[in-house]
Amino acid sequence: MDLNDINYSEYIKSKRQQLGLNQREFAELLGLNESGERTVSGWERGEHKPSSSRWKNVVSLTTNVPFRQEGEKTWFKFVDLFAGIGGIRLPFQEIGGECVFSSEWDKFSKKTYATNYGELPLGDITKIKSDEVPDHDVLLAGFPCQAFSQAGLRKGFMDTRGTLFFEIQRILSDKRPKMFLLENVKQLRGHDKGKTLSTIMSILRGESASNILLNAPISGEARESLNSKLNYCVDYRVLRANNFGIPQKRERVYLLGFDRDQFPEIDIDSALQEIFSQLESIKIDSCLGDILEKNTSVDPKYTISDRLLAGHKRRREGHKKKGNGFGFSIFDRTSPYCNTISARYYKDGSEILINQSDVNKNPRKLTPRECARIQGFPESFRVDSVSDNQIYKQFGNSVSVPVIREIAKLIKPVLDATKKA
């Protein structure tokens, strides 16, 4: 579409409005600088034209937003913190929730989020005051895991990413939603011999905050909010994604909490244990062939080179000699499940390679669509708004949607009871 053959100002304004974005959000989506809102305003008023590269970016934006909430009947409100690409949001939207606030700092994840939901999350949650967050019934957060994960340095609360839990705590303290769902890596359970998770649970229950290190990098507002005692009935479980119908050996900690003060007519302790009991009883079979494309139809760019394959083999042999189990893994259509996809998958794909001996080729990486499927995202979820490298990172950092969906279904009647009360 040629810039000189169209009323560009009307086109830009119309596209922005169809996406449901204001000028600031539209500018951010296009990757403009701090004066971007003023730039977009100038375009729409016809004061100046976008450059050819900016115009190309505008034209490339699609108005097909598959999961936009528009005119849908909703019965509870939720917020989506550390939102990533919206994997936790989707199931709660499906059961009738309205997302009234979302926050995510990564600009590429925000673009994928906006492409699929028609709204751009706000940025760094540490810079957003609690009173700027709308009132809500449910708080959702897949808070950063690097401070606890096996792939990170595991500094816990002495890592600024580890202290982001306290940003959740301050919002819980100020807004007192009826319930929350938090997700993190399995290693959170054993971090610092279990002390980290114990501290988190104690704070959420309103038992104690005395063991928070004074020199931990916590924001002033978050530290001050520790003086306000919460009163949540809270517990956690480690759940495996492959028990929920997706062929991935992904284990994550899920923390669920209900505000005791807002469920006076319910034995909330028993209700919470029943939810976890039902979740642990779910066993839905699957195999990798359910989500894989045929090797004959996969773009050759996903096939790894001879040089990269040789490097994988050398590294695996080196790890073997050291007595550890690290190294690449090859799976095929008959495999019941594969390893956990990580945020570093874009580097070499070593944790999940697909056998292509049937077409006489080296193993290949998963395609972006297969990554979406292996996390349980719907086929209509858009994976084309960012580069392959970015989409690999995003799905590696995301959640297993079917697990969240089952949790959402089970908490629905508990939430519904407060609506009837």
Q: Is residue 65, in this structure, part of any structural domain at all?
A: no
- Same domain flag for 199 and 279: yes
- Same domain flag for 390 and 404: no
Helix, strand or coil for residue 181? Answer: strand
- Average pLDDT across the chain, whole number: 88
* Maximum mean pLDDT: which of 5-9, 66-70, 399-403: 399-403
Asked if the model's pLDDT at residue 83 lies above 80, the reply is yes
pTM for the structure as a whole: 0.88
Do residues 66 and 385 touch, judged by C-beta distance below 8 A? Answer: no
- Same domain flag for 252 and 219: yes
- Same domain flag for 355 and 214: no
Among 43-52, 78-87, 149-158, 377-386, whose mean pLDDT is lowest?
149-158
Asked if the model's pLDDT at residue 335 lies above 80, the reply is yes
Do residues 90 and 148 touch, judged by C-beta distance below 8 A? Answer: no
Helix, strand or coil for residue 272? Answer: helix
Q: Is residue 67, in this structure, part of any structural domain at all?
A: no
- Same domain flag for 167 and 249: yes
Q: Is residue 68, in this structure, part of any structural domain at all?
A: no
- Same domain flag for 141 and 205: yes
Asked if the model's pLDDT at residue 153 lies above 70, the reply is no
Among 18-22, 88-92, 150-154, 344-348, whose mean pLDDT is lowest?
150-154
- Same domain flag for 88 and 49: no
- Same domain flag for 279 and 408: yes
- Same domain flag for 193 and 329: no
The rounded distance, in Å, linking the Cα atoms of 129 and 259 is: 22
pLDDT higher at 252 or 146 = 252
Asked if the model's pLDDT at residue 220 lies above 90, the reply is no
Q: What is the pLDDT of residue 310?
A: 92
Query: Which domain range does residue 339 map to?
Result: 288-396
- Same domain flag for 373 and 242: no
pLDDT band of 208, cuts 50, 70, 90: low
CATH of the domain at 33: 1.10.260
Q: Helices in 192-267 by DSSP H: which ranges?
A: 195-205, 220-225
Q: Which of 145, 233, 338, 371 is catalytic?
A: 145
- Same domain flag for 272 and 250: yes
Look at residues 172, 193, 199, 190 and name the one whose alpha carbon lies nearest to residue 257. Answer: 172
- Same domain flag for 328 and 280: no
pLDDT band of 146, cuts 50, 70, 90: very low
Look at residues 167, 194, 193, 97 and name the one whose alpha carbon lies nearest to residue 138. Answer: 97
Annotated catalytic residue 99: no
Asked if the model's pLDDT at residue 299 lies above 80, the reply is yes
DSSP code, position 101: E
Q: Is residue 346, in this structure, part of any structural domain at all?
A: yes
- The number of domains in the chain is 3
The rounded distance, in Å, linking the Cα atoms of 326 and 127 is: 39
Q: CA 98 → CA 79, 136, 400, distances in Å?
A: 8, 9, 21
